[in-house]
């Protein structure tokens, strides 16, 4: 008979213990508690049911990653096979494991936040109209705009130019 495959969402309730077999294979164990809820139509509310305890075992890379990632109180999603039921606990051999994002944010090594992530998110300030500035003196030399550029910029670019005033600007080739 093949073991039963199940998916569980629960809270880690013990520290993750990692050990190694004699051949060097990592194996970790941790306890998980799931509190299923059921809709009560008479009171029109969700009611928590009796908690279900799991004793989870993970192997190899999953064991190493779980040991580094999990702490008590973290909600996880587990896919695994029920291996036995003993002492009011369901023993689960874990095939896959992930953090639940219902109550927290998770970061991967590739998406670690920068220092700005700690800053509170606020809407940007509404832009205020800039006060009129005094015209800049025309600077000559490389890297500075010509005098006609400064004159038109200071007048608000309101004067229209005809094709005979200046040669057309070409972009690209």
Any idea what the CATH number is for the domain that residue 63 is in? Answer: 2.40.50.140
The reported pLDDT for the residue numbered 163 is 47
Q: Which domain holds residue 83?
A: 4-104
First to last CA, the chain: 74
Domain count, the chain: 1
Q: Is 65 domain-assigned?
A: yes
Q: Is 48 domain-assigned?
A: yes
Q: Is 121 domain-assigned?
A: no
Q: Is 83 domain-assigned?
A: yes
**Distance between CA atoms of residues 173 and 115, nearest Å:** 43
pTM: 0.59
Q: Is 152 domain-assigned?
A: no
Per-residue pLDDT reduced to its tens digit, 21-78: 999 999 999 999 999 999 999 999 999 999 999 999 999 999 999 999 899 999 999 9
Question: Minimal CA–CA distance to 59: which of 98, 102, 97, 25?
Answer: 25
Q: Is 26 domain-assigned?
A: yes
């Amino acid at each position: 008979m093949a073991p039963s495959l199940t998916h569980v969402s629960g809270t880690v309730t013990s520290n993750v213990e990692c050990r190694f077999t004699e051949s060097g294979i990592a194996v970790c164990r941790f306890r998980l508690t799931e509190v299923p809820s059921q809709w009560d139509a008479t009171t029109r509310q969700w009611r928590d049911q009796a908690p279900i305890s799991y004793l989870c075992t993970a192997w190899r890379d999953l064991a190493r990653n779980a040991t580094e990632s999990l702490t008590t109180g973290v909600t996880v999603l587990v896919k695994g096979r029920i291996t036995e039921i003993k002492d009011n606990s369901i023993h689960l051999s874990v095939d896959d494991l992930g953090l639940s994002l219902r109550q927290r944010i998770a970061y991967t090594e590739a998406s670690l936040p920068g220092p700005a992530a700690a800053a509170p998110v606020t809407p940007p300030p509404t832009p205020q109209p800039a006060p009129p500035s005094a015209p800049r003196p025309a600077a000559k030399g490389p890297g500075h705009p010509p005098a006609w550029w400064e004159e038109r910029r200071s007048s608000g670019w309101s004067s229209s130019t005809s094709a005979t005033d200046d040669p057309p600007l070409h972009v690209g080739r």
